Amino acid sequence: GPDVLIQQRCRLQRLVTQKALIHAFTSVLLILLADGKVMVELKQTSDQFIPEHTEGVLQVNELNWTNYPPDDEDDEDEEWDLTVS
């Protein structure tokens, strides 16, 4: 009946929204810098990455900073070379 149709439409809208959000953020790379700032990079395409070039790459979906004690060496910020070739 009409109730089933409304439920199916709502479910479809939820699924479409979820898929759109996932697709939109698959090309975004968030990098946490040593000073606590976040840098945002836009990945062009996932097929640009060749397996031998991704060795040592770690994918993090979620990180809880409360599990890690704060650094005592706040005055000594490390310089990171984040240039991309």
Range of the domain at 17: 1-44
pLDDT at residue 60, as a whole number? 67
Helix, strand, coil % (nearest 5) of the chain? 40, 10, 50
Q: Which residue has the tokens 């790459």?
A: 57
Q: What is the pLDDT of residues 5-59, one digit of tens each?
A: 888 888 888 888 888 888 777 778 888 888 888 888 877 665 555 566 666 666 6
Residue 30 lies in a domain: yes
Q: How many domains does the chain have?
A: 1
Let me know if residue 1 belongs to a domain: yes
Mean pLDDT of 56-85: 63
Position 22 scores a pLDDT of: 81
What pLDDT sits at residue 19?
85
User: What is the spatial distance between Cα 42 and Cα 28, in angstroms, rounded to a whole number?
Assistant: 5
**28 located within any domain:** yes
In a domain, 61, yes or no: no
